[in-house]
Structure 1
């Protein structure tokens, strides 16, 4: 653990330059909120006792030097509640996505940590047992944000009725990749949220037709909506971003698993809230 802390204190000179460049251009109050962020995905194998046997990262050759070994070291120190299948603990493989953060230590260096993680293998669930997309027309890009060069991600919560239409929708969190005044940041968050919600109100889904979820009166799903000038955000690169506050929604009261936050979900996916959250983590995200 001591060696890892030393390594963390010296890693990511490139992120220092990235964040300092963003801070130098923005108002002081917002500069302090900037974080270097990266989403890393892969597979982990959980033993019958809940310990992690292996961690295999997606596209590890695209990750900055040292990041793959850091994430692997942390992941293999995790311990989960044993996964029971028909009452018996079994070894299982499941998807993992982890949100890494790089923060300044005050001496020109950065410290890397795992901020949040998700272990829900949604795509592995048979399509008949989960909510799946039918028609998801993307939102338009707000003109105000385009003119300012603002980019960001809106994490939506949607209540899906039994006919597959959206009965209610709310923006749970809005993260921005722009530096501006506090009032401008609020404006960008509001415009991105409004655009994402307006599009989501027209979306339709395929409800589950079998399994535990099929008999529910409605379903709650999370859908990240990304506003970016690039066709696809590159995997394995640090980005400076300002996280927005997380809003609690009255009709979505399912308790999150330890270490979860909306911004750990990959862009473009449809993620069911509740029972499909995957294995339960028992240890801290940064390991034991």
Structure 2
């Protein structure tokens, strides 16, 4: 946990960001909404869901100490899912699952730990249907740490939503959410800091090109040409917090670009759902659909 220095930021944030003009204007919020800092971590594992939608098995991969491990297993065992159908009949389904945990400080200085979100990462594409469109990065432009502030050692994570044209060029890039990792600070300071990193991420990704594998043989719909990019800005020799390790995060509120409908927005991850090892992800509808209301649960 590292407070931001007002005098240092005043000098650093005055440094201009020089870059060539973009081929279009990315979606940028005029003023970022900064949320209260939270302690956060991620827990990865495998889950098996029976034909009745109940949890048949849960195998955490992330190392956790007690009593959190036992409490988390008990909570997951109580999850309820929509039964997965194959040829119209319910089947047993197994998938990789990530639990995004947050601990929020209460007025009495105690912490309330809960599950913020449940996602189903598929880094190897194992869950992708054979006839589903596949988006990959064909050409990357570099993304640079903002000028003049590398010496301050800020760790920042930015999740960017991308909308592609059918030829793989990008139609728009829009920041979904960003976070200062390992840090707290005054709202105005964090707001200016994250705006610098968001701009740097957008300027790099706006010059990327995607390759689109379309086995369907039909024109793709707009919601099939959307992906998410995770950018982790860090200084040399600094590692992203690994799953299971708690770290303070000061986040912006999630934002929806004008072109996002509710279904696309629901599939886009936030900073709490990803790690620095996640890169580009062509969004897909997960096989498992959780019915349990996470807002009612606390560890």
TM-score for the superposition, normalised by structure 1 = 0.79
Q: How many residues align?
A: 262
CA contact (8 A) 1:51 1:79 kept: yes
Does residue 283 of structure 2 align to residue 277 of structure 1?
no
Cα-to-partner distance string for 1:213-255 (whole Å, 9 max, x where unaligned): 8733560111221112325443321000112111111112142
Q: How far, CA to CA, are the matches of 2:217 and 2:36 in structure 1?
A: 41
Unaligned runs of 5+ in 2: 7-32
Matches of 1:64 and 1:138 in 2, distance apart? 39
Gap change, CA 1:213 and 1:202, over 3 Å in 2: farther
Q: Aligned with 2:251: secondary structure?
A: coil
Aligned mates of 1:179, 1:112 — CA distance in 2: 19
- 1:207 and 1:71 mapped to 2: Cα distance? 39
1:87-135, Cα deviation, whole Å (9 max, x unpaired): 1111000121121011223444322100111135462226873212333
* Other-structure match for 1:248: 256
Alignment check: 8 A CA contact 2:153 2:234 kept: no
Given that 1:157 and 1:221 are in contact with CA atoms closer than 8 Å, whether structure 2 keeps it comes out as: yes
Which aligned pairs between 1:31-180 and structure 2 lie closer than 5 A?
A: 33-60=36-63, 63-119=64-120, 121=122, 123-124=125-126, 125=128, 129-177=133-181, 178-180=183-185
1-structure distance, mates of 2:59, 2:217: 30
Q: From the superposition, tell whether residues 144 and 36 of structure 1 become closer, same or farther in structure 2 (CA, over 3 Å).
A: farther
Q: In the alignment, which of 193, 197, 200 is matched to residue 205 of structure 2? A: 200
Question: In the superposition, relative to structure 1, how do residues 257 and 194 fare at CA in structure 2: closer, same or farther (>3 Å)?
Answer: closer
Q: Quick check: 1:115–1:259 contact (8 Å CA) kept in 2?
A: no
Task: Name 1:234's counterpart in structure 2.
Answer: 242
* Cα offset, 1:146, TM superposition: 2.1
Determine if contact 1:116/1:261 at 8 Å carries over to the other structure. no
Return the TM-score normalized by structure 2: 0.76
Aligned to 1:143, the other structure's residue is in SS state coil
Deviation of 1:32 after TM superposition, in Å, equals: 8.4
Deviates more, 1:230-239 or 1:79-88: 230-239
Partners of 1:22 and 1:240 within 8 A in 2: no
Q: Secondary structure at 1:245's aligned position in 2?
A: coil
CA gap 1:260/1:70 in 2 versus in 1, 3 angstroms = farther
Partner Cα distance (1:82, 1:198) in 2: 42
Aligned-pair Cα RMSD in Å: 3.1
